[in-house]
Structure 1
Amino acid sequence: MFLDILYRVGLTPKEYLLKYVLPALVISTVLIVIGLTYFTGYAKILMLLIPVLILISAIGYPLIELDSQKNKINEKLHIFITKFGVLSITDLDRKELIKMLASEKEELGQLAEESRKIYVLIKRWNQSLAEACRFLAQKTPSSVFADFLDRMAYSLDSGEDLKEFLMKEQSIVMNDYAAFYKRALYNLDIFKEMYISGITSLAFFVTFAVIAPFIINYNFVTSVTLAIFGSIVFEICLVYIIKHKMPSDRLWHTANTLTAVDRKLRKYLIISIILTLLFMGVLLGGKYIANIPELQKIPYQILVALGFTPLFIAGYVAKKEENLVIRKEFHFPGFLRSLGESVSAKGGGMTESLKYLSSHDFGPLTKDLERLYKRVAVRIDNQKAWKLFGVETCSYLIQLFSEMFERCVFLGGDAGKASEIIGDNFRKIINLRKSKYQSVEQFTSIVYGLAGGLALALFASYGVAYMVNKLYNTLEIPEAMATIINIMTPGDLTLISYLMYGCLLIYSLISAYLIKVVDGGHPQVLLYHFVIMVWISSLVSFGTELLINKMLGANIPIY
């Protein structure tokens, strides 16, 4: 069975042993020797755990890769079935149809590789399409795709036309994709709970690291640094898991061409970075180097938040453009259905139909339609005109499906049927995305709340530790008690507040990145969330210090 898995992921036993198992054994052996020779205590245990993880990863690589291939197939099913159905209504024969699907590696990903396997079985091994589908259904890692191949094989063997079969399969496969998508959203809810539990546990862990030096003979800075480092590693691992478990659902286009919107976003990003460097340099330099009295009266948390604030400009502009793209996607199915019906009614008058529709209001999509009509009316290169239309909308889905529609019409397909297939499937995807956006908004609110909660927990523990340490230094403690209680000077705790605030900044950055991983939007929008969480963390941390000073009289230096 394990050998079958190796072959399914494209590895022979020899390649698997030489490329994965053997290097893992060598590296693990070296790390074990180093750990036993040069390390002691907890560091030794950590060094011995790393080889175990490396070996487990190497041995389990085929299973991990097989699961990855399954997810890659499932997340592209909606594009595959739409493209397959649209191309089937053209004059292409079956072999050329499968060959065209196999060539769409960027659009279909792993499904293009699966299509290539079918094409090889048909062309080189002289199998029929039904036989090739039945054979691949036993090898593909996705049960949903395997069921589709089995149904297609049965249908072709019974003499049903491929075009008719694919028309019927549109709703079936899209329902399968919807079920996969909803499972992913359910997993997101589970990841939310994991993230809340993880951050809450980490807050307790760091709090314990602050209190622990009063009980055991351990340095404050060392204990807090180790706790913060462990929390950062945990957050990164959790982000990695979520990123690879959530299906890819891009919002922004993937073309190499820079659109006017891309140039606009890049311009604001450069301006924001320059302003941030200037603001941060002036504020922190003025406070700690030039000793400007006005700046010395401002807490360092507020100064850092002010320094990062210019990044909000680039994030806000990107978020505004992202919302515009989402609105364009809502209008696209209606436009395409109208265009397809108009072209079919006029017997192929694409230019006249576009001219008529470009004068109608399709919301933010209207300007893109006007540019599309002008390019098509010039009659130089319709394919490039449609490609530019998809790219300039900045929507990944519009980019894919508009090119799909143009290709079908160019190859002689019925524009009405093509627009009906694409429009229906596009609308189903949009409806699924609405649920995702709602779930992401809830997740964003949770992350914002955790930023404030984490800041409160960390700086409350810091305030208590500062007060207790100050109290110990004012008391005459007997020698017997001094052997139990570890006493540090108050000055040593100043660095602790900076370390904790640094932990909050890193949390804000990682969480902002996680939000963009989940919603699939433009990466620049993470700056928007990052700045908001920095301000939440800064205000809560400063407010906590003020509250501790007022309630406990700790006299924490907050400026």
Structure 2
Amino acid sequence: MTTQAQQARDFLDSVLDSYERMPMETSRYGLVVLLPTTVLFFASVLGALLLPLPVLVRIPIFLLGSLMLVAGLLYPRLLVEQQRRGLENQLHLVITHMTVLSTTNIDRVQVFRVLGREEEYGELAIEMRRITQLVDTWNQSLDDACRRRARQVPSKPLADFLDRLSYSLNAGQSIDDFLLGEQSAMIQKYITVYESALGNLEVMKDLYLSMILSMTFAIINAIVLPILTGTDATMTIAAVIVLFVFVQLGFYYVIRTMSPYDPLWYHQDDFRTKADRQIDITLYGAVALSFLFIVVLAVGTAGVTPVGRTIQGVMVDTPVPLLLATPLTPLAVPGIIARRHENRIKERDEEFPGFIRALGASESAKQSTTTAVLKTLRNKDFGVLTREIGRLYTRLKMRIGPTRSWFFFTAESSSYLIQKFSEMYNVGRQMGGEPKQLGELISTNMSEVIKLRRQREQSTITLIGVLYGITASASFAFFIGLEVVEILASFSTQMNLAQLEFGQLIYAGVYDIPFIEYLLTLIILFNALLSSLMIRMVDGGHKANAYLHFVVLTWIGCASAVATSSLAGALISV
């Protein structure tokens, strides 16, 4: 059997296996999902064959029906893949947290109970609860429960870990010895999974570039061909644009699925930091200002008052793309504020491993409390983290509880990694863990994650460059095609070809140029929206980052459109 045939068979087996893992019964899924998508597919085939529509409209109809059917068939596989990624995304944090807990004075089953209560771990927390349920309800030993769950989970790294843990516990090894020995292997596997995800994103980036260029070519054909064939240009362009939208939605979903889960920000509902307040205030102000711009444009479009008529006079001379981009511009402000705070969070993350290692080593050497050690450490230079360290010492000195003091420390740092690792250190210390061991363990693991984040940042920069370039080139291609049509239509009118024998070579009357210009502008807007969401998904930053990229991409597309139209107009006048 060839390699391709074996891969196809493995994929088919994985799809069939995913139907068994679904929370919904297979028969019900077939009735609720597969039957309607099959009906839609055959309806699209009949519509593509029988409806009196242009070929460029029939093809998208057939492709949309096919897309619905394929999505229905593969959705269970996507669910299993989503569950697998949920188990693997935070596996390194769970194992580190488990190691920290195992070095304290609690029972080994209690370790799994504590992890099961951490809702932030998602699917992994559910797995921890399933293991403890097998122990508590079905009276199984911990090693048997781990072995049973290893056969059920869809994640191979987690299954291998549970298998090794089960074997070690059954052999009499203590859980802390096993987990401490697993740290190096766990980190290497996490690095492999993370880099594999980044590699997949690089492949998807190249595939996305190829598909968008192909769809751009299809839209250009939809713009130009009706002037030679006489088909309805608006319907043809709208059909291809719908297909373009579905292609982008599909790529967005795939990139969202493939991106490694590694958030930068930590959002605490119980405490609003200065950064959160600044971003919220600027966001509300930006939305209000954008809404005001939209109201002004609406008044100008209606022209119901002297002010409206004045605005209307200005709008007549303003290109449509600029009218679209201008009201959206204020949304860039919260993105700029969020980006500034993100840079400070990254600097805090860089400083934290050194701080936590020094804290643990000092506590072990001096045999003193965290408060006494921080009295000295707060005078050391830990960069932008120095302020948060000083405030942590102040709260502990004021007899605020350690848990609450560390809570404010992590909230003010706004870092997801600092929050998770600080919580691990604090819990480990409260339960009697060795400070030096905890500090070195947390410092080593966080340093490896920061190295991977640097690789992710490079991938994000590359993706941003690709998306910005695609936006500019696609916008240029769309509007150069529209300008070609306008030139041919103008040529047909000036030469009065309709009175000649070959007048039907050019069908200028099938075009509604202003409406088509609106459609092309809307596709620029939609491309900017999805591209900004892709960037935000890959970089793992604040949601406000998407606003900044959305505005920049919109302006790139609209400026390219205006420049293209102006250049074409200048060439015609010459």
Fold similarity call, TM over 0.5: yes
Counterpart residue number, 1:252:
265
- Aligned pair partner of 1:476 in 481, 493, 497: 497
Counterpart residue number, 2:353:
333
Contact kept? 1:220, 1:493, Cα under 8 Å: no
Letter of the structure 2 residue corresponding to residue 210 of structure 1: I
Counterpart residue number, 1:194:
207
- Aligned pair partner of 2:114 in 95, 100, 104: 100
2:254 corresponds to 1:241: yes
Contact kept? 2:371, 2:396, Cα under 8 Å: yes
How far, CA to CA, are the matches of 2:95 and 2:467 in structure 1?
A: 36
How far, CA to CA, are the matches of 1:517 and 1:3 in structure 2?
A: 26
How far, CA to CA, are the matches of 2:552 and 2:39 in structure 1?
A: 45
Contact kept? 1:470, 1:489, Cα under 8 Å: no
User: Could you report, residue by residue, the CA deviation over 1:321-377 in whole angstroms, capped at 9, with x for unpaired residues?
Assistant: 111111111111111111111122222411111222222222222222222222222
Identify if the C-alpha distance between structure 1 residues 346 and 250 changes in structure 2 by more than 3 Å, giving closer, same or farther. Answer: same
User: Could you report, residue by residue, the CA deviation over 1:283-309 in whole angstroms, capped at 9, with x for unpaired residues?
Assistant: 675587324556654434334433322
How far, CA to CA, are the matches of 1:270 and 1:435 in structure 2?
A: 34
How far, CA to CA, are the matches of 1:540 and 1:226 in structure 2?
A: 24
How far, CA to CA, are the matches of 2:416 and 2:63 in structure 1?
A: 42
- Aligned pair partner of 1:438 in 455, 458, 474: 458
Counterpart residue number, 1:9:
21
Identify if the C-alpha distance between structure 1 residues 65 and 535 changes in structure 2 by more than 3 Å, giving closer, same or farther. Answer: closer
Counterpart residue number, 2:10:
none
Counterpart residue number, 1:72:
86
How far, CA to CA, are the matches of 1:7 and 1:304 in structure 2?
A: 46
Contact kept? 1:265, 1:314, Cα under 8 Å: yes
Q: What is the SS of the residue equivalent to 1:160? A: coil
Contact kept? 2:233, 2:510, Cα under 8 Å: no
Q: How does 1:393-542 map to 2 (within 5 A)?
A: 393-474=413-494, 475-477=496-498, 481-488=502-509, 492-542=512-562
Q: How does 1:40-119 map to 2 (within 5 A)?
A: 40-41=50-51, 57=71, 60-106=74-120, 108-119=121-132
Q: How does 1:115-514 map to 2 (within 5 A)?
A: 115-257=128-270, 258-282=272-296, 285-286=299-300, 289=303, 290-292=309-311, 296-474=316-494, 475-477=496-498, 481-488=502-509, 492-514=512-534
Identify if the C-alpha distance between structure 1 residues 309 and 135 changes in structure 2 by more than 3 Å, giving closer, same or farther. Answer: same
Contact kept? 1:206, 1:458, Cα under 8 Å: yes
Contact kept? 2:60, 2:240, Cα under 8 Å: no
Identify if the C-alpha distance between structure 1 residues 447 and 101 changes in structure 2 by more than 3 Å, giving closer, same or farther. Answer: same
- 5+ residue gaps in structure 1? 555-559
- 5+ residue gaps in structure 2? 1-12, 304-308
How far, CA to CA, are the matches of 2:227 and 2:460 in structure 1?
A: 42
Q: Percent identity?
A: 32
Identify if the C-alpha distance between structure 1 residues 314 and 76 changes in structure 2 by more than 3 Å, giving closer, same or farther. Answer: same
Moved more, 39-48 or 248-257: 39-48
How far, CA to CA, are the matches of 2:338 and 2:187 in structure 1?
A: 31
Contact kept? 1:280, 1:304, Cα under 8 Å: no
Q: What displacement does 1:103 show?
A: 1.9
Moved more, 517-526 or 124-133: 124-133
Contact kept? 2:371, 2:397, Cα under 8 Å: yes
TM-score for the superposition, normalised by structure 1: 0.90
Moved more, 522-531 or 348-357: 348-357
Q: What is the SS of the residue equivalent to 1:125? A: coil
How far, CA to CA, are the matches of 1:147 and 1:178 in structure 2?
A: 16
Contact kept? 2:19, 2:77, Cα under 8 Å: no
Moved more, 338-347 or 131-140: 131-140
Moved more, 538-547 or 15-24: 15-24
Contact kept? 2:492, 2:506, Cα under 8 Å: no
Q: What displacement does 1:31 show?
A: 4.9
Paired residues in the alignment total: 549
Q: What is the SS of the residue equivalent to 2:225? A: helix
How far, CA to CA, are the matches of 1:303 and 1:25 in structure 2?
A: 44
Contact kept? 1:8, 1:140, Cα under 8 Å: no
Identify if the C-alpha distance between structure 1 residues 537 and 66 changes in structure 2 by more than 3 Å, giving closer, same or farther. Answer: closer
How far, CA to CA, are the matches of 2:384 and 2:536 in structure 1?
A: 23
How far, CA to CA, are the matches of 1:449 and 1:45 in structure 2?
A: 28
Q: What is the SS of the residue equivalent to 1:309? A: helix
Identify if the C-alpha distance between structure 1 residues 503 and 54 changes in structure 2 by more than 3 Å, giving closer, same or farther. Answer: closer
